[in-house]
Amino acid sequence: MTSERPKVVLTDYVWESLEMEEKLFAYLDDDLIAINCKSREELLDAADGAEVLLNTYFAPLDRSLFEELPALKMIARYGIG
């Protein structure tokens, strides 16, 4: 078992505060990286080594992107609707 904290990347968000998310992921002992991606390259840089992607609207998330992020274990749509 590794001692490193899991890395979770929030690809984009539209709300003003991330207080709830920061508290939750601190409680879970995960590292939350919240960015507002503008490009594929920006996402790849931020998500290097990430185990989880939380995605609100950023697109495209496609097979070639996933192949460049081999540590990913989960991708989830983050939002309502």
The per-residue pLDDT for range 33-44, each reduced to its tens digit, is 999 999 999 999
pLDDT surpasses 90 at 1 = no
Residue 73 half-sphere exposure toward CB, CA atoms < 13 A: 6
* Tokens representing residue 53 in the block: 């992607």
Q: What is the tens place of the pLDDT at every residue in 44-70?
A: 999 999 999 999 999 999 999 999 999
pLDDT surpasses 90 at 14 = yes
- Concatenating the DSSP letter of every residue in 1-25 gives ---SPPEEEE----SS--HHHHHHH
